[in-house]
Amino acid sequence: MADLIAETEGGVAKLRLNRPKALHALTAEMCAAVLDALERWRGDHTIRCVTIDHAEGRGFCAGGDIRLLAESGAGDGSAARAFFHVEYRMNHRLFTYAKDVVAFMDGVTMGGGVGLSQPCRYRVATENTRLAMPETGIGLFPDVGGGWYLSRLPGRIGQYLALTGARVDGAACHALGLATHYVESARLDALKRDIAARPAELRALLDTAHVDPGHAALLDQREAIDRLFASDEVEAVFAALEADDSAFARATLATLRTKSPQTMKVSLKLLKHGAGMADFADEMRQEYAVATRVVQRHDFLEGVRAVIVDKDNAPRWEPATPEGVSDHVIDQIFAPLPEAEAWTPHD
């Protein structure tokens, strides 16, 4: 069975992720297949809209092919660069696609799954949605457009999510605008059948299926998050948390002490730059330059070892503290690539 199912039903084109044993994590081949399908459907006037979901099993999409990235990063990095290049082209193509695209985020939606869903015009959350960008826990950073999407969330919630990797449920996704609609999972199959039967009524069908998601608990901490994560300097965030004796601050500080100091600094700088980006292609170009360097640095290889390979969950970060990560190192990571090596959108 193919890892990506691309099919049509009436006026609807369907992209279905189909790697259930890997929670539908994306491979380079899946990203390329998405691009190919979108290109085929772009000029097909019988196709009114595109849907993205998972074919079977749990999850929506748990991320990308982390093992491949780590194995490549430990070598010459060429396979990692190829993966990022095609994945970011897919992200950008979805962002600029003329036809309506709806993603059904029914389950785990992490990393690459965020990059797949957030460019879509419509994003449906359910009670099963658990959205997160947990990359700092493995020495990576919230890429696939994270610098764009997270920097545009209310207040400093994006910075909080980028550093902590906290999971966001369906109610909070809707409250923050990460989801446009909230639909009970039991209603999804009927909704998809309705869309296949009446694709021209996509927005009205989504609006009709939408229900009140209930209380978004994350927003109870909005004031604390805005205050504690007010700075774009990781050291200042730590200082603010250390000076606050609330249970939330203590728990958040404990979480941040498990993350890569280097990629926490990368993440805050990415969001600071992303907030001022005028074009999504510029965001992807910068993220590609950063990703190709971070993936070959110690913290990513060590994070994958600790969390995914050995599973001891005891990464030894280098440097071990934010103070040890120099501005010079961060500037090197963010330096533009030579034109011949830079990311480019799909033609």
**Which residues belong to the active site?**
64, 112, 135, 143
Query: How many residues in total does the chain contain?
Result: 347
Sheet strands (E) in the chain:
4-9, 12-17, 49-54, 100-105, 108-110, 122-125, 130-132, 168-169, 181-182
Strand 108-110 with 49-54, pairing = unpaired
Question: What one-character DSSP code corresponds to residue 342?
Answer: S
Residue 144 region by backbone torsions, left for phi larger than 0, else alpha for psi between -120 and 50, else beta: left
The widest CA-to-CA distance across the chain, in whole angstroms, is 60
Q: Are 111 and 54 in contact (CB under 8 A)?
A: no
- The answer to whether the CB of 235 falls within 8 A of the CB of 168 is no
Q: How far apart are CA 196 and CA 193, in angstroms?
A: 5
User: Residue 158, Cβ neighbours under 10 Å: how many?
Assistant: 26
Residue 306 DSSP one-character state: I
Residue from 43, 71, 55, 66 nearest 7 by CA: 55
- 31: closest CA among 82, 76, 78? 82
- Closest C-alpha among 69, 92, 83 to residue 346: 92
* Tally of CB atoms within 10 A around 257: 12
